[in-house]
Structure 1
Amino acid sequence: MKAKSSGLIIGISIGVVIGALLAIIGLLCFRFHRKRSQIGNSSSRRAATIPIRANGADSCTVLSDSSIGTESSRTSIHNGILSWIGGPRKSHVVAASGILEYSYKDLQKATCNFTSAIGKGAFGSVYKAQMTTGETVAVKVLATNSKQGEKEFHTEVMLLGRLHHRNLVNLVGYCAEKGQHMLIYVYMSKGSLSSHLYSEKHETLSWSLRVQIALDVARGLEYLHDGAVPPVIHRDIKSSNILLDQSMGARVADFGLSREDMLNRNATNIQGTFGYLDPEYISTRAFTKKSDVYSFGVLLFELIAGRNPLQGLLELVELASLNTGGQVGWEEIADPHLDGKFDERELNDMAALAYKCVNRSPRKRPAMRDTVQVLSHILKTRHEKKRSASEVVIATGQSDRQNSMNGEHCRAESLDSTADYVDV
């Protein structure tokens, strides 16, 4: 009887121990699966915070003047999460926006430990980076002591995630790791417009290129104002924020101060670059699309005169306007580096447009779509002139050849007549 009782007690004890072990194992499995589920949900929420890329009018899918596309990857779906295989460690595609997240380690390697600096601004330094795919990109690194820079970082990611146009510099990736914030753009191999206007290491920009650059910038701003939904106000148009690609095509860059129209239009602090700022904005703290138009007008005069606002550009414009009446006679402010190699009519038409853009009254400034039409007309007229001149040259050549043939024919007849006379 005692043996049976002992056996029963031992059996119950073993059962309790086994049950406890199974319970512990079950609890661990539950916690493990719950954690993985939370990671998946977190990733999904993170992807949803960045808006969907929306192509607008005049958009282009080419992200770089490099022949190689954006960083390639092979992906697989595991538990509903899109993850990298063979790509940058800890990086993944933010599926909702199409913008890549790069790891700090890979960017550190691509920039030779951040020693390949190619520029510096209020945001921080910009580095040239060679990715493992062979693609060349530009990496803009937020200065760690810049609170404004961190705000601008989020603004650019949020805006450029949905803005895509051939005359805007495209954001192809970002990094937010190890306390660093970085933005990765297409590499614009010809640098900024300001470097071409003021640096001696570059050849003087031809007049025809200046008009084309003006039209490229106007198209980029027209897209922001009329093509983007909701519209976007750039707020910092200047020559150093206009970048040039391999074929000298111009793209608008630096959207750190940009805002969607109708949101936060009244600012407490003045932001932007003095000399390009709309006087109306300075006095009222209210920025509108016409604030961008004013800055664009200053940029047009910068292209015409080859000097920036800090060099007395607007004072020069005001003095010239006394003689021109805002219409003709603007050739007196033409960039001396052009050495007179420009079309006077084109210069006067572009200067007259610029003068309307910098009108102190925002109501009297043209819309960006109107500036595009004026600049397009200038180029169209130029092409028509060239075509007409070519046709005249061809017609003249044909006339000369016909006259030459007629002359030869007449001389032949004359010789024949003379020969007949001698024979008689």
Structure 2
Amino acid sequence: MDNLTTDSNDVNYMKEVKKHYNLARITWNGDPCSPREYSWEGLTCDYSKSNQNPRIVTVNLSTSRLRGGFAISFMKMTSLENLDLSHNNLTGAIPDYQLKSLKFLDLSNNKLDGPIPDSILQRFQAGLLDLRLEGNPVCSNVKGAYCSKKRKNTTSTVLISVIVPVVLVSLLVVMCILWKLCWKGKSGDNEDYDMYEEETPLHIDIRRFTYTELKLITNDFQSTIGKGGFGTVYHGTLENGDEVAVKVLMETSIAESTDFLPEVQTLSKVHHKNLVTLQGYCQNRKCLALVYDFMPRGNLQQLLRGGGDYSVKWEQRLHIALDAAQGLEYLHELCTPSIVHRDVKTPNILLDKNLVGIISDFGLSRAFNDAHTHISTAAAGTLGCIDPEYHATFQLTVKTDVYSFGIVLLEIITGQPPVFMDPQTVHLPNWVRQNIAKGSIHDIVDKRLLDQYDASSLQSVVDLAMNCVENTAINRPTMTEVVSRLKVWLPAASATPRRTYSMDSEIPRQFKLMISGAGNEGSSFQSGYTNGMSQSSLFSGR
């Protein structure tokens, strides 16, 4: 990644805050500020100094169900300018905040009591700090402006006298522009888009929607259920009452859209219970869209790391893994020519109301045969899930999907993302090896499973996952073999809860030999996800 990582002190303080309040947000993984596109929700980072690590300047945890006292870590973040902890259940006294960088502090609507520190009052009175405390017990005997919803602005009179005339002139200009636009075309948005409908439809046997129809079934694009680099996904309802998800490409990406036609053509030909069903498409020069069956349980990534009290059980996880494996097996073995998905990952495994896994997002999929396996463009896929052999050679085979599926299996077992901070950036397969090398295979298991799993099936699934992420494609199993092995272990997974055992008594001898020799190869664990793979064949007993 080109981006610099977040200042290490800020990272440590935010981890302390996350632990203090037991926060389980989906986006709060990896580096808080880097890459910019995946910065943590509720944080604003300062990237102005291009040669220095970004600093966290804003933390917004309003309405986040925070409980307990004020986290002392906030007081140590020397670049923090704005802190919003309003509408929570914080208790105790307000700490003596000495940070000179702080310009905005909103603690309103909590349960804070005790005196207000002099350092905070002095900065407020000097106009250096915007302080908000209304709705707290501390305001019961205080009449300060910071305890009132009505705020006085000492410069309001001057601002009004300057701004009002400017606003009035601007409004007149805007009204004139709107008036001209209305006269240019009174027909409205529907007619503007209808005139851009492509005259020649795709030669596929599925429904074609007009832009006007999309507006109708999505209630004018009111309900957003997902966003990505491609555009936005909306919830909709067809005339017969069936719920659908409508993926609309952004207008700026239509001219360069290379994923739209492959996805339409692929999904119009493939039909399997574990592959998403394409209901139709919209082919408009201003709007390209795909209409899928709606999946009410979201995706596998949300299920594994979405927070909350509900935790999917071990047997359920294996059923979802088997569902996804069967969908990939169909693409690899029963389609002619075979289809490689190329972007297998937990966000692309959707879940229906019964938690059945459905493979989705075929924008990167490619049909191939043995005579044509070379892709001349950059390797496609997602960071942490890309087959290292494909990344190095651009030789596309079905084993590319097998590698990515191995990463999915490891996420199902551990609950961890493919790449995360521990405390440095680490690839999930290397993290698994390191933790098993330290002692027990149980150390890698998702804590939310609460030890409710069968130990023998766990070891078998770990073995399969590590076999799938072999560095060399020829050493990986086929998806047919993966499906067969998962079907064998599912009855065992539901039979008994975890049985505790020591590594010395249960783990196979070859597995122990690998662990005992880890010291000689220790550097490979830290070398990313290409060098560290060479040991993984030992997990499969090879």
Into which bin does the TM-score normalised by the smaller protein fall?
Answer: 0.5 to 0.7
| 1:153-172 paired onto structure 2 within 5 Å | 153-172=260-279
Give 1:95 deviation, angstroms: 10
Give yes or no for contact 2:254–2:286 (8 Å, CA) kept in 1. no
Q: 1:140 is matched by which residue type in structure 2?
A: K
Instruction: Classify the secondary structure of the residue corresponding to 1:300.
Output: helix
CA distance in 2, matches of 1:110, 1:128: 9
Q: Which residue of structure 1 lines up, in the alignment, with residue 340 of structure 2?
A: 233
- Residue by residue over 1:310-354, the C-alpha shift from the partner in whole angstroms, topping out at 9 and shown as x without a partner, is 224223122135368xxxx52220001111111111111101000
CA distance in 2, matches of 1:359, 1:251: 25
CA distance in 2, matches of 1:223, 1:335: 30
| 1:257-272 paired onto structure 2 within 5 Å | 257-262=364-369, 263=372, 265-272=374-381
Q: Which residue of structure 2 lines up, in the alignment, with residue 315 of structure 1?
A: 430
Give 1:179 deviation, angstroms: 1.6
Q: Does 1:301 align with 2:416?
A: no
- Residue by residue over 1:133-169, the C-alpha shift from the partner in whole angstroms, topping out at 9 and shown as x without a partner, is 2111000001122258721110011111110100001
CA distance in 2, matches of 1:249, 1:91: 36
Change (3 A) 1:149 1:342: farther
| 1:267-282 paired onto structure 2 within 5 Å | 267-282=376-391
Q: 1:362 is matched by which residue type in structure 2?
A: A
Q: Indicate which of 92, 107, 113 corresponds to 2:214.
A: 107
- Residue by residue over 1:194-228, the C-alpha shift from the partner in whole angstroms, topping out at 9 and shown as x without a partner, is 11111124711111110101100110010010011
Q: Which residue of structure 2 lines up, in the alignment, with residue 337 of structure 1?
A: 448
- Residue by residue over 1:272-309, the C-alpha shift from the partner in whole angstroms, topping out at 9 and shown as x without a partner, is 10100011111112221111100000000000000111
Q: Which residue of structure 2 lines up, in the alignment, with residue 369 of structure 1?
A: 480
CA distance in 1, matches of 2:255, 2:275: 22
| 1:174-193 paired onto structure 2 within 5 Å | 174-193=281-300
Between 155-164 and 264-273, the greater mean CA deviation after superposition: 264-273
| 1:350-389 paired onto structure 2 within 5 Å | 350-382=461-493, 385=495
| 1:408-419 paired onto structure 2 within 5 Å | none
- Residue by residue over 1:52-102, the C-alpha shift from the partner in whole angstroms, topping out at 9 and shown as x without a partner, is xxxxxxxxxxxxxxxxxxxxxxxxxxxxxxxxxxxx9x999x896431001
Q: Which residue of structure 2 lines up, in the alignment, with residue 255 of structure 1?
A: 362
Between 230-239 and 374-383, the greater mean CA deviation after superposition: 374-383
Q: Indicate which of 223, 236, 239 corresponds to 2:330.
A: 223
Between 306-315 and 168-177, the greater mean CA deviation after superposition: 306-315
CA distance in 1, matches of 2:291, 2:332: 24
Using structure 1 for the length normalisation, give the TM-score.
0.65
Alpha-carbon RMSD across the aligned residues, in angstroms, is: 2.5
Give 1:382 deviation, angstroms: 4.8
Instruction: Classify the secondary structure of the residue corresponding to 2:234.
Output: strand
Give yes or no for contact 1:143–1:149 (8 Å, CA) kept in 2. no
Q: State the identity as a percent.
A: 37
CA distance in 1, matches of 2:488, 2:449: 22
Q: Which residue of structure 2 lines up, in the alignment, with residue 75 of structure 1?
A: none
Between 234-243 and 278-287, the greater mean CA deviation after superposition: 278-287
Instruction: Classify the secondary structure of the residue corresponding to 1:150.
Output: coil
| 1:22-33 paired onto structure 2 within 5 Å | none
Give yes or no for contact 1:241–1:254 (8 Å, CA) kept in 2. yes
Change (3 A) 1:279 1:91: closer
Change (3 A) 1:236 1:134: same
Give yes or no for contact 2:340–2:398 (8 Å, CA) kept in 1. yes
Count of residues in Structure 1 that have an aligned counterpart in Structure 2: 294
CA distance in 2, matches of 1:149, 1:174: 18
Instruction: Classify the secondary structure of the residue corresponding to 2:416.
Output: coil
Give yes or no for contact 1:217–1:251 (8 Å, CA) kept in 2. yes
Say which one has the larger Rg: 1
CA distance in 1, matches of 2:250, 2:309: 29
Instruction: Classify the secondary structure of the residue corresponding to 2:259.
Output: helix
Q: 2:217 is matched by which residue type in structure 1?
A: A
Higher relative contact order (CA 8 A, sep 6+): 1
Q: Does 1:290 align with 2:399?
A: yes
Give 1:130 deviation, angstroms: 1.4
Q: Which residue of structure 2 lines up, in the alignment, with residue 411 of structure 1?
A: none
Q: Does 1:146 align with 2:253?
A: yes
Give 1:119 deviation, angstroms: 0.2
Gapped runs of 5+ residues in structure 2? 1-193, 421-425, 497-542
From the two aligned structures, give the one with the greater helix fraction.
Answer: 1
Instruction: Classify the secondary structure of the residue corresponding to 2:354.
Output: coil
Q: 2:404 is matched by which residue type in structure 1?
A: S
Using structure 2 for the length normalisation, give the TM-score.
0.51
Give yes or no for contact 1:141–1:181 (8 Å, CA) kept in 2. yes
Q: 2:237 is matched by which residue type in structure 1?
A: Q
Give 1:132 deviation, angstroms: 2.3
CA distance in 1, matches of 2:198, 2:309: 39
Instruction: Classify the secondary structure of the residue corresponding to 1:266.
Output: coil
Give yes or no for contact 2:387–2:404 (8 Å, CA) kept in 1. yes
Give yes or no for contact 2:327–2:359 (8 Å, CA) kept in 1. yes
